[in-house]
């Protein structure tokens, strides 16, 4: 009888411990919702040099992997974690942003993106592109889309707290009853 109670206590302790670890492990594994984009499907994304036009005009085109243009696609231009501007492509898949400054930017759509080093007019290296050519794969989601369901981590955390509290409360109640 005593070994059965010991096994029950050990099982309850393991369940309580695991319920506390689940949220932390899910965050550590990167399953949490992100702000909007994770650009590189590989470990290191290549940086592409792009020359700005006069008055800081950055232009580009969005197409799919087969080369077909993608119109009405949101293009998000970011510096670090800050979204600077979001523009929508026209029917020919083209976008234009005015007033850009030289620097490194992340440019992303719903199906892909990249990192560009933008050069001020007249300062770009000879090999720099005159615009951004984004190739996307709309059928593959790599975390670039907007996350509308970001409450799941709260549900897991709350259920872990409730489960742990119930188990600890049960063990305390059992020990109090046993002691009296």
Q: What is the pLDDT of residues 11-23, one digit of tens each?
A: 777 776 666 666 6
Q: Name the pLDDT band for 105 (thresholds 50, 70, 90).
A: very high
pLDDT of residue 169: 80
Are 9 and 76 a contacting pair, CB within 8 Å? no
Please state, in angstroms and rounded to a whole number, the distance separating the CA atoms of residues 68 and 133.
Answer: 12
Domain-by-domain residue ranges, the chain?
2-33+150-179, 47-136
Is the pLDDT reported for residue 102 higher than 80?
yes
pTM more than 0.85: no
- Interaxial angle between packed helices 152-179 and 2-28, expressed in degrees from 0 to 180 and rounded to the nearest 10: 160
Residue 2 banded pLDDT, cuts 50, 70, 90 = low
Which overall architecture, per CATH, does domain 47-136 show? Sandwich (2.60)
Q: Is the pLDDT of residue 120 over 70?
A: yes
pLDDT at 161 over 70: yes
pLDDT value for 108: 86
Q: Choose between 180 and 62: higher pLDDT.
A: 62
pLDDT digits (tens, 9 = 90+) for 33-60: 443 334 444 445 678 899 998 888 999 9
Mean local confidence (pLDDT), 82-100:
91
DSSP character string of 44-105: SPPEEEEE-BGGGBEEEEEEETTS-B--S-EEEEEETTEEEEEEE--TTSEEEE-S--SEEE
- Tens of pLDDT, residue by residue over 130-142, are 888 888 765 545 5
**Tokens 């059992």, residue located:** 174
């Amino acid at each position: 009888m005593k070994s059965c109670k010991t096994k029950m206590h050990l099982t309850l302790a393991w369940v309580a411990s695991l319920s506390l670890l689940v949220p932390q492990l899910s965050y550590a594994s990167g399953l949490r919702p992100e702000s909007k984009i994770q650009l590189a499907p590989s470990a290191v994304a290549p940086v592409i040099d792009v020359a700005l036009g006069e008055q800081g005009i950055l232009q580009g085109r969005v197409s799919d992997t087969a080369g077909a243009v993608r119109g009405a696609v949101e293009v998000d231009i970011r510096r670090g974690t800050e979204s600077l501007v979001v523009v929508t492509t026209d029917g020919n898949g083209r976008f234009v942003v005015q007033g850009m400054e030289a620097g490194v930017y992340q440019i992303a759509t719903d199906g892909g993106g990249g990192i560009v080093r933008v050069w001020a007019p007249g300062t770009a290296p000879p090999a720099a592109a005159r615009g951004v050519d984004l190739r996307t794969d709309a059928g593959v989601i790599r975390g670039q889309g907007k996350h509308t369901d970001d409450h799941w981590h709260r549900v897991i955390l709350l259920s872990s707290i409730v489960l742990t509290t119930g188990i600890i409360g049960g063990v305390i109640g059992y020990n109090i009853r046993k002691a009296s």
